[in-house]
A and B are shown apart, each in its own frame.
Chain A
Amino acid sequence: MELKDKLEILADAAKYDASCASSGAPRRDSVDKDGLGATNGMGICHSYTPDGRCVSLLKILLTNFCVYDCQYCVNRRTSNVPRARFSVDEVVKLTRDFYLRNYIDGLFLSSGIIQSSDYTMEQLVEVARRLREEHQFRGYIHLKTIPDADPRLIELAGRYADRLSVNIELPTQDSVTKLAPEKNVHTIKLAMGSIRTKLDEKDDHPKAPTFAPAGQSTQMIVGADASDDQTILNTAQTLYGSYKLKRVYYSAFSPIPQSPSSVPSAPPPLLREHRLYQADFLLRGYGFTAKELMPQAGNLALDIDPKLGWALANRDHFPLDLNRADESMIARVPGIGLRTAKRLIDLRRLRRIRWEDLSRLRCSLKKLAPFVITADYRPAQGAASTDLLRRNLADAPQQMNLWPELQAA
């Protein structure tokens, strides 16, 4: 099989993994050095495909042969898909060729499970080793970790890779047992735990060999099982707290050819995935807890974003005086982000904040109007009922912006 054919199959098979970030690596460059590649910590998206997702890494599987039978996965052993396998050299060459032409920032390498977990992991590690040691490649490398692999292999992977990830796949143990019979939440958590232990060691002993400097991430598939958003966010919160994950990626289940009957035949609304990303961002960036965002079982509202949802459910905090409130509360006002909150605090040191400042800072005035007080503005007394507000502030139906969250870290 020609390289082009393999690429076709093994890129197609890898696209269900939502992770695409190439950020968080330490600064490296190749000035006056043999070899290739630089990272500046930020990561770059080099293109976008018509599904709105960015291309930042060469994202491929080493092989899509797989002995597992995960029901949501196009490569499960009972799936009738064309199969292919790259050699280690082929992946190395593709990565370098793409990198030199400025198509990508590095490599994201995953694989079906062949022979055994250890054997598969060894192959992944070998690609990274050859890139780093033989070709002095300093671009970004993200390796998908096989949970059951020997911790020593995971340690080796962390030596070469900027980021490691272990996919939790589904939000509950029951769902994993049902839909991914060969996987096991327990071993997945243990693998994440061993990565975290290594990351901690590196933090405590800066002289220790590098270990996955861009941290670890995971992915959860949304809509392949019956779990609701409350369950999903609770799981995300547990994972963030326990394993110091950089990111949890949410991937709306994509119907696959000849889907087994154990998974739904239609995808969940993509907007649901989008709301989960927004809620996740509030967990990571704004100090919200899952319980604040989802006090009850069920799914996030689709018509309003989760921050607005929280503000409408907690109107006793509002209207908030922007000339007095502290930064973290200001950032909780719908229509005001972290950066604007900081800028308001800076400005407040010079003078009092006025309504016009909010418009210059390009806040969404309509959204924040019922929630703030400035030197020259306060919302009408006995302001509108929550229902009315909600109707006024709900997102206009539109093509939503699905992926920008994926670019950040």
Chain B
Amino acid sequence: MTADALVRTGQPVLVETFAEWREAARELLVHGIPPDQVTWGAPHMGDLLAGGDLFTGAPAAAGAPHNPSIPPTEPLHPAPHIPRSLMEMLQSAACCRVPDRWAFLYRVIWRWQQGEHDVQSPADEDGARLHAMVKAVHREEHDMHAYIRFRERPEEAGPPRFVAWYEPRHDVLPQVAEHFISRMGKVSWMIATPEASVLWDGQTLHNTGPLVRDAADLEDTGEALWLTYYRSVFNPARLNTNVMHQHIQSDRWKNLPEAKIVPHMVSEAALGARKVGQYEAVGQRKGTTIPIAPEDAQPERQQPSKLDECRRCELWQFATQAVGGEGPRRAKIMFVGEQPGDQEDLAGQPFVGPAGKLLDRVCEAAGVDRDTIYVTNAVKHFKWEPRGKRRLHKTPVQREIEACHYWLDKELASVKPTVIVALGATALKSVLRTANVTLKNSLGKPLRHEGHWVVTTYHPSYVLRVPGEEAKREAFNTMVEGLKLAHELLERPVDVPDA
């Protein structure tokens, strides 16, 4: 009889699985039958729970035990207008062992169908209960994933090689079995519970009916190692049993082998082992120091450069490393940028990030061989501020530029370039040693400064950043012109007095 017909003749609708409920609920919804007119019940299950054969792994005989907690695998057809998120919640909640589960689920779906969509929100009364049921089921799945303990059976005994006993609070065995199938691969195992059991023979899952606890009581010598581990990772100096109990509810402990040794560990810790973190058994062993001289213990590392040890300003603290200049010792042109960026900070080389790539293109367009150029920055450590989990470039202030000028001076003195190309305002301020210059007024106008030509152009990041294709192209061209100019200046004498 259909669910609709049952209700009309005043009989309860008997369902056992979510799939059956779903069929019935759809039927009832289609006929517009409100929740208060339906009585839901479960078929009498007593006869269905005949036990399977525990260890032979024989599949349950044909037509025999249907396991109530394992829904048939046939595909489920979606009920009308129910969003998937709600359907998933209903399916989970259906595993929750409360007597009125089917009636409650029907009420939820009925209300949704009536347009009361806040029934899915935990701020609604039914919604809150639904969320609570889902949460209880998920928690049970989680606990079972976490606290099942397999014991190993001897190789000769055949499959299953590993056996576990568990007492789930909700009907989650099918989902949990999937978890262990994916975890154990072709190793055979069995999980026994008071209501139902499953056996995985390495290829197929069999339902083997309910079992009693003793069936899973095996000797496993591997357990002793686990207890040793459990004892030794515990730090008695931090004894905090409340937290331990908060995480594992009390009725879960009884099937955990480590539960037996907890009281002893706690009292031992309280009795004195508490002062130091070491586990007593380790503390009692004979110890040894390692006879090796401090000099010999020092790892061999490349000496950090003097630049790396610079503490002239605060920037070093937040950076990975100082990034010095790079290029031919006697280069005729020196590029001075602002400061290393995120990538340069990691790589320890100037202009390796996106700005560096752009600089390459500019050089190419200007017909200048980049390998003949010495490239450096006004400030040698990356200055940044946090933006979410990223580092956002931050412009150095005059104080930092001045502090770091010490290093630029050294580079200028040793490379002695004829032309300095200042890339952007920071570089310009650094090269001319004054805060009173603007990029705009200096663009394209070469100056003489302390025996060098100084050409000012944009910083490649500006080209990358400026919005609009037109503006980008213009900025790019300005840089190319700047470089060409620098190249021409190589031929002109600089030892005339500064302008």
Contacts and interface: CB of A to CB of B under 8 A. Distances in A.
A194 B321 CA distance: 12
Contacts of A67: 290, 292, 296-297
Nearest to B243: A52
A3 interface: yes
A241 B232 contact: no
Given A51-B236, A101-B226, A401 B246 contact: yes
A46 B146 contact: yes
B150 A52 contact: no
Given A7-B232, A196-B346, A267 B237 contact: yes
Interface of B: 117-118, 121-125, 128, 142, 145-152, 162, 164, 179-187, 203, 220, 222-226, 228-244, 246-248, 256, 258, 262, 265-266, 269, 275-279, 281-283, 285-290, 292, 294, 296-301, 304, 308, 317-321, 345-347, 384, 386, 388-391
10 tightest A-B contacts by CB?
A52-B243, A30-B185, A29-B182, A82-B285, A77-B290, A11-B232, A80-B287, A52-B240, A49-B234, A51-B238
Nearest to A289: B386
A216 interface: no
A48 B243 contact: yes
Nearest to B285: A82
Interface of A: 3-4, 7-9, 11-12, 14-16, 29-38, 44-55, 58-59, 65-69, 74, 77-83, 94, 97-98, 100-103, 113, 116-117, 148, 173, 181-182, 184, 186-187, 189-190, 192-194, 196-197, 237-238, 240-242, 244, 252, 254-257, 267, 270, 284, 287, 289-290, 343, 346-347, 350-351, 356-357, 360-361, 399, 401-404
B318 A186 contact: no
Contacts of A181: 294, 298
Contacts of B300: 116
Given A102-B150, A103-B149, A97 B222 contact: yes
Contacts of A35: 185
A79 B276 CA distance: 14
A187 B319 CA distance: 12
A97 B235 CA distance: 24
B123 A343 contact: yes
Contacts, number: 280
Contact of A30 (B183, B226, B238): B183
B185 A59 contact: no
A67 B299 CA distance: 10
Given A74-B277, A242-B345, A361 B152 contact: no
A74 to B, nearest CB: 7
Contact of A240 (B225, B256, B389): B389
A364 B162 CA distance: 45
A396 B237 CA distance: 23
Nearest to B311: A173
A238 to B, nearest CB: 5
B235 A254 contact: yes
Contacts of B283: 257
Contacts of A97: 222, 225
A336 B439 CA distance: 49
Given A255-B237, A351-B118, A8 B282 contact: yes
24 contacts: A8-B228, A11-B232, A11-B233, A36-B187, A38-B183, A44-B145, A47-B146, A47-B248, A49-B230, A49-B235, A50-B240, A51-B237, A52-B242, A55-B233, A81-B287, A82-B287, A98-B225, A186-B304, A241-B384, A254-B277, A256-B276, A257-B283, A289-B386, A361-B122
